[in-house]
Amino acid sequence: MSNYIFELKEGLIIALKAIRANKARAILTTLGVVIGICAVALMSTTIKGMDIAFEEGISSLGSDNLYIDKWAWFSNEEFWKMRNRKNLKLSDYEKFKNLAQLPIAVAPTLWIVKKVEFGNNYVEGTLITGSTNEYLKTTNFDFDEGRFFSAIESRSSRNVVVLGKEIADHLFKSKNASEKYIKISGIKFKVVGILKKQGSNLLGNFNPDKQVYMPIGAVFKHFERASKRSIAIIVRARNTSMVEKTKEEAEEIMRRVRGLMYDEENNFSINQQEGLTQNYDKTVGVIKIAGLFITGLSLLVGAIGIMNIMFVSVKERTREIGIRKAIGAKKRTILTQFITEASTICLIGGVIGLILAVLLSMAINKFLPTSIQFDTVILAIVISLITGVLAGFAPAYTAAKMDPVEALRYE
């Protein structure tokens, strides 16, 4: 054992000497590993960052919500079948709300897309959610200014709006927005509240920061005819463990509300965020695998570079190997020496690559969410070590099995 430590230590000293003796070559060889490790580490921090951002985003939607909709969000149900379903109406929502016992909140929603304006500032294609005051209870919203619209405002379909943070910033820049009036399709709406920054860009337009909220009655009054559009009903379960029970109850009540016979299929769907998560995992999972595979390839190229240079190094040092063998180095000693050398180059490359990845990810963080995890750091170091051992093995083995007589004669 102690012998082995000697050999390792000796191997390390030799490795550092050899690297110092061939600086330019070592730098170029290391560069391959630097790029490889940097790419792999960067990829995994980006993946981690996306995951975290998605989780944050989705939790801002409220994780115990059910969405009763004409459409199934993620299913193999045929499109035309769902299209032929009856629209969900406000009256369906009211009947449902009266019958449901388990939810802590039930709110109707209807989405429309409009341009919103304040003075010369405007945001094109803003997602406007129409709902009731109960909508607030289905979210985890906090307010920067003001409040959500009240029950009275909701019932009487007043022209009031709550703005997402980004919309408010766009329209009012740094000015105070509360109690001001914005225009949607030429109609004036009073701003009663502005949300705190919530979600993440991964949710796209569904990010609450990019939405406007108003009473659903106001949507029907000014923008949509009630008969044309199907609403969705958001149902908030008491807690996560109650989600399943609440869902069962909701299905039962909805069948009653929709007047379905026992042998008829549901003409509505109950959606859950889980579907969103599954969908995310499906699409992002592919990106993850592809990304890691491609960046892995660059590491492989780096490893091949190391292997190549180690073969050259073994050839150049044939005589040295002969000398070492003559004075008593065993096969294992020589093997250790060259593997240590390859691993040292890889390890140095790995550490540099990692530092580079950390710096780059700080820069990238401005555009894409990244997150450097401790396990990524450990993994990168371990991968670079393994790369070194694997890349060094074949050349080291060639060196170890050299015939000392031949090696000593080598010019």
Q: 115 to 144, contacts with another protein by CB under 8 A?
A: none
Examine residue 238 and tell whether it contacts another protein (CB under 8 A): no
How many residues does the structure list for the chain? Answer: 411
Sign of CA dihedral 315, 319, 323, 326: positive
- The one among 108, 193, 305, 322 contacting another protein by CB under 8 A: 322
59: Cβ contacts below 8 Å, ≥ 6 apart = 140
Examine residue 330 and tell whether it contacts another protein (CB under 8 A): yes
Examine residue 97 and tell whether it contacts another protein (CB under 8 A): no
Helical pair 273-316 and 23-60, crossing angle rounded to 10 deg = 170
Place of tokens 């079948």: 81
Q: Which listed range, 65-73, 140-148, 328-336, 341-349, lies at the site for another protein (CB under 8 A)?
A: 328-336
Q: In Å, how far from its chain's centre is CA 168?
A: 26
Examine residue 181 and tell whether it contacts another protein (CB under 8 A): no
Consecutive H or E run containing 172? helix 165-172
Examine residue 52 and tell whether it contacts another protein (CB under 8 A): no
- Rg of the chain taking only CA atoms, in angstroms: 32
Examine residue 296 and tell whether it contacts another protein (CB under 8 A): no
- Pick between residue 183 and residue 331 the one whose CB is nearest to another protein: 331
Examine residue 331 and tell whether it contacts another protein (CB under 8 A): yes
Examine residue 332 and tell whether it contacts another protein (CB under 8 A): yes
Measure the CA dihedral 326/328/330/335, to 10°. Answer: -70
Q: Which listed range, 280-288, 317-325, 352-360, 369-377, lies at the site for another protein (CB under 8 A)?
A: 317-325
Examine residue 323 and tell whether it contacts another protein (CB under 8 A): yes
- The one among 28, 289, 297, 326 contacting another protein by CB under 8 A: 326
Q: In whole angstroms, give the CA distance from residue 343 to residue 349.
A: 10
Smallest CA-to-CA distance from 106 within 237, 217, 216, 229 is with 237
Q: Closest distance between another protein and the C-beta of residue 344, in Å?
A: 15
Examine residue 3 and tell whether it contacts another protein (CB under 8 A): yes
Examine residue 405 and tell whether it contacts another protein (CB under 8 A): yes
Place of tokens 């200014």: 145
Examine residue 194 and tell whether it contacts another protein (CB under 8 A): no
Q: Which listed range, 220-228, 245-253, 370-378, 402-410, lies at the site for another protein (CB under 8 A)?
A: 402-410
Smallest CA-to-CA distance from 298 within 349, 365, 343, 355 is with 349
* Site residues, another protein (CB under 8 A): 2-3, 6, 10, 17-18, 21, 319-320, 322-333, 404-405, 408
